[in-house]
Amino acid sequence: MARYSEEFVAWITSLPMSSRAAKARDHLLEFGSLTTEQLTDMGYVHPPRAIGDLQDAGATISRESVKSSAGKNIRRYTLVEEMTAGKAGRVSIPKKFRENLNKAFANKCGICNGTFENRELQADHRVPFIVGGDKLELRLEDYMPLCASDNRSKSWSCEHCPNLTAKDTAVCESCFWAFPLRHTHVATRQERRIDLVFQDRETEVYDSLKEQAASEKTSIEELLKRQLGFRDY
């Protein structure tokens, strides 16, 4: 059983946080560590989000790679007894700010460019909060709206990015997940990436590509690369 000082326990339990973060916090206070496998067993579809919420609230978490019961590489999170003066959770984003952000993007996801309802888009820090924190004032240029799918994908990618330890904001600012239109890497890996969503009448184009790819016994992605001039595909 983990042993933390009464002062630390009082401090961390006083921090405002989501219910999923509180559930992870209580487990960590009792046992000291928690794995992604355990978080999955607790009912979390995307386990790292619970830990992310806890860190956003102000907790310090260390990470290490361990083996799951099935022998796969997973993360183990350990609660570090550290109280940083003035450390606070992320700034609450007002509804009006989110609406203005969505309007600035014409209600399109900043990653896949799909069009969504206001309620389907989340105001996301371009540079993850865990790396860059919050600035003194909310500015639209520091955020972009993300659909649920891309928000989960970004969270997973950032969770496994080497820069999560280094916390170099310049690295994040040149990443696909922060500025997809001018990125030079994807989570420090030398890649260039385009995400596409086909909606409404555009689905007819997708279906046509799918049919052509099937007839040529290839994938849609390989077909598109070939049509763009990549002859090796």
Domain shared by 57 and 116, yes or no: no
Q: Does 199 reside within a domain?
A: no
pLDDT at 166 over 90: no
Whole-number percent of the chain with pLDDT over 90:
55
Alpha helical stretches, state H, 32-179: 36-41, 48-57, 95-104, 129-132, 148-159, 163-166, 169-173
pLDDT of residue 114: 95
Q: Does 158 reside within a domain?
A: yes
> Which domain range does residue 118 map to?
95-173
Closest CA to 205 of 180, 227, 232, 231: 227
| pTM beyond 0.75, yes or no | no
pLDDT in tens, 6-47: 989 998 998 878 788 899 999 999 999 999 999 989 888 778
Q: Does 145 reside within a domain?
A: yes
Last residue of a domain, one of 80, 109, 133: 80
* Domain harbouring 70, CATH code: 1.10.10
Q: Does 226 reside within a domain?
A: no
Domain shared by 99 and 169, yes or no: yes
Q: What is the DSSP letter of 195?
A: -
